[in-house]
Amino acid sequence: MRAALYIRTSTEDQAREGFSLDAQAEQLKAYCRDNNWEISDFYREEGYSCLDTDRPEYKRMMEDSDKWDILLVLKMDRIHCNGENFTQMMDDLGRKGKEFNSV
């Protein structure tokens, strides 16, 4: 299984509270090792809100969907905090035969 790892912080406070990009990356890498998943790529988003999808790395990740099988995030709020956007993403992933998982 090839995994796309999406990591995001929107504020410095999140980084101080253990949600730094590097901390998220380490936890996701460990999860992939535990599940014998290959890491396809990291998509690092710093300083972007989860309220919309107008994020450069998010867009790149979705455009790269032929390079991975599963999208992995640490927590649901790292990818979307808007139910409508999350539902749209899940529909898009489903149409492409992709999976989603949060640690």
Q: Of the listed 10, 40, 49, 65, which one is catalytic?
A: 10
pLDDT of res. 14: 56
- pLDDT band, very low/low/confident/very high, at 52 (cuts 50, 70, 90): confident
Domains of the chain: 2-102 (3.40.50.1390)
Proportion of the chain above pLDDT 70, given as a percent: 91
pLDDT of res. 9: 85
Rounded Cα–Cα distance for residues 61 and 11 (Å): 21
Mode of pairing for the β-strands spanning 70-73 and 2-9: parallel
pLDDT of res. 17: 59
- Kindly state the tokens that stand for 38: 């290959």
Q: What number is the average pLDDT over the span 74-102?
A: 94
Let me know if 65 is a catalytic residue. no
pLDDT of res. 61: 96
91 DSSP assignment? H
* Average pLDDT for the chain: 90
